[in-house]
Structure 1
Amino acid sequence: MAFLRIRGARLAFEDVGAGDPVLFIHGHPFNRSMWKEQVSFFANRYRLILPDLRGYGESEGEGTRNMLDEMALDLAHLLDELRIDRVVLCGLSMGGQIALDFYRMFPGRVRALVIADSDAKGETAESRQKRLLSADFMERVGMRQYTDEHIHEFIASASLRNETVYRHLYDMMTGTRVSAAVAAHRGRAERRDHLDALGSIAVPTLLVVGSEDLFTPESVMEVMRKRIPGARLVCIPGAGHLPNMETPAAFNEALDAFLTNIKTTGR
């Protein structure tokens, strides 16, 4: 693990392996450890960059509202510090939305996109209000009660019975600072709608979704597949919102095939 001061905040990250760079962007309310199964699988062939986003994990940078495009800008500056020009972006949930913001601002720096269990739509008036109320709830009761009441929504029923997966997820969620979770949630309430821009994505794109995802079901990801030229959608059976943790072998297989194809075609 290392730290760099990025745009006024001390960000924690891992830089492991060697080869073509892949930047993994975690979701909410998680941290970079959610990608540990991908690190063990891919670090011998790729250079993996795994940051804790602003305010999350061991990173600083909490505010009253952390916008997603600001987090994307943090990542661009982190890549500058690491002297990485172009990168494969792999983001899950909120991380996928940050990846879309990154591509909007820096399309020339993205070699390919991997978006898992995410949604390109902006908030409706109703969903915006719901997200703000959720942020207020987290602030009022803390992350432990929030986790106890909502953890079952994040993973499939079989994963809830998997002690390793459940404990890792529980520790990540309860270990997230409530101020950071609230700030990011309030930022997400103002997130940009990317639907109309999906047709202009001009890099190889892999979409992944768990078959039991309650937040972003396959139908949501199918909308993205239809709009992004040449995008491929992989639905992973038996997984919920976190297939990279719940069914890592299937997730890694899909990602491995995608990355290998990029190497083969030279894109």
Structure 2
Amino acid sequence: MHHFVSGAPKLSFDRIGDGPPLIFLHGIGGNRFQWRDQLVAFADRFTAIAWDARGYGRSDDYAGDLAFGDFSDDLLRLLDDLQVEKAHLVGLSMGARILLDFAPDRLDRIATLTLCDFFYGFDESLTEEKREEFIALRQKPLLEGKTLSDLAPDLVASLLSPSASDAVRQRLVDSIEALHVGSYLKTLAATLRYNRGANLAALKVPVQMIYGEDDRLTPPGIGEGALAHLPDGRLNVIPKAGHLSNIETPDAFNTILGRFLSIYRDTACWKEV
């Protein structure tokens, strides 16, 4: 099930099942294991794939600063390596923002998009100055010697709903502790300096949005605002779920995603070789 895309940096991904390609992109504090409940659930209908983004999991770290567009280039590398003509693409939080960056210039490679618990632009309340302050505050503890284990409790509390189980909380702690500190610091800076919210109008493919009702980081109202800009969008909100709706409430998440994908299943395809 585990594979690599060669090149610089080398990319790691899991693959299971047989059928049209369905690819999952994790958030800033995650890795490919964030999607294990989805890989198992969809392997009977799709070839389900979850990557480690560059600098995450078993993917290589990289020299120099990160440009957020590097993730899109890596996704294209993955599609080409797998000989994917068109894929169903699913991204959560940072993974969704990677798809917002990737999609407008590569609509021919996309069957559908599912965007989960994400934001798509900065308003007056988050000025450039405030974004730089946020970056500095998030980086400072690690730069001053604190460990990811030190930071995990507060991060977990901010991301999960009050009803999250102990097993889900431990799963998120494990994910945070597995981060590559250097790459995580670079990703924090790159993602807060990236803004392509205007891309929503260019997403001329079917788009499913999924939010957790108790998501304090990216509340469902963001998805409601996005609906006005999407040519073909729909929104579902999952009760008693926080920012990681796919992990906290996998059954509800999989039901929404499965219903959406069933309409368009065969629009994803492999290249003829």
TM-score by length of 1: 0.93
Are the aligned partners of 1:62 and 1:183 in contact in 2 as well (CA < 8 Å)?
no
Deviation per residue, 1:225-263 (Å, 9 max, x gap): 221122100000000000100000000000000000113
In 1: Cα distance, 2:56 partner to 2:4 partner: 13
Report the equivalent of 2:177.
174
Are the aligned partners of 2:238 and 2:252 in contact in 1 as well (CA < 8 Å)?
yes
Residue type of the partner of 1:209? Y
Q: How large is the Cα RMSD of the aligned pairs?
A: 1.6
Higher alpha-carbon deviation: 253-262 or 220-229 = 220-229
Give 1:29 shift. Answer: 1.2
Give 1:68 shift. Answer: 2.4
Residue 157 to residue 65, structure 1, CA distance change in 2 (3 Å): farther
2:155 aligned to 150, 158, 161, which one? 150
Deviation per residue, 1:92-133 (Å, 9 max, x gap): 000000011110231211111100000111463113431233
**Is residue 139 of structure 2 the alignment partner of residue 135 of structure 1?**
yes
Within a 5 Å distance, the mapping from 1:1-267 to structure 2 comes to 1-6=2-7, 8-122=8-122, 124-125=127-128, 126-140=130-144, 141-159=146-164, 162-194=165-197, 196-263=198-265
Identity %: 29
SS of aligned partner of 2:74: helix
TM-score by length of 2: 0.91
Residue type of the partner of 1:179? G
Residue type of the partner of 2:219? P
Deviation per residue, 1:37-66 (Å, 9 max, x gap): 101110111011211000001111234532
Give 1:5 shift. Answer: 1.7
SS of aligned partner of 2:118: coil
Tell me the number of residue pairs that the alignment of Structure 1 and Structure 2 aligns.
Answer: 262
Deviation per residue, 1:5-61 (Å, 9 max, x gap): 23x112111121111111100001110001011011101110112110000011112
Higher alpha-carbon deviation: 244-253 or 98-107 = 98-107
Write out the 4+ residue segments of structure 1 that deviate beyond 6 Å after TM superposition: none
Deviation per residue, 1:152-179 (Å, 9 max, x gap): 01110111xx122111111011111111
Are the aligned partners of 1:63 and 1:180 in contact in 2 as well (CA < 8 Å)?
no
Q: Point out where structure 2 has 5 or more consecutive residues left out of the alignment.
A: 269-273
Residue type of the partner of 1:183? K
Q: Point out where structure 1 has 5 or more consecutive residues left out of the alignment.
A: none
Residue type of the partner of 1:182? L
Are the aligned partners of 2:27 and 2:92 in contact in 1 as well (CA < 8 Å)?
yes
Are the aligned partners of 1:41 and 1:252 in contact in 2 as well (CA < 8 Å)?
yes
Deviation per residue, 1:212-236 (Å, 9 max, x gap): 0011001111111221122100000
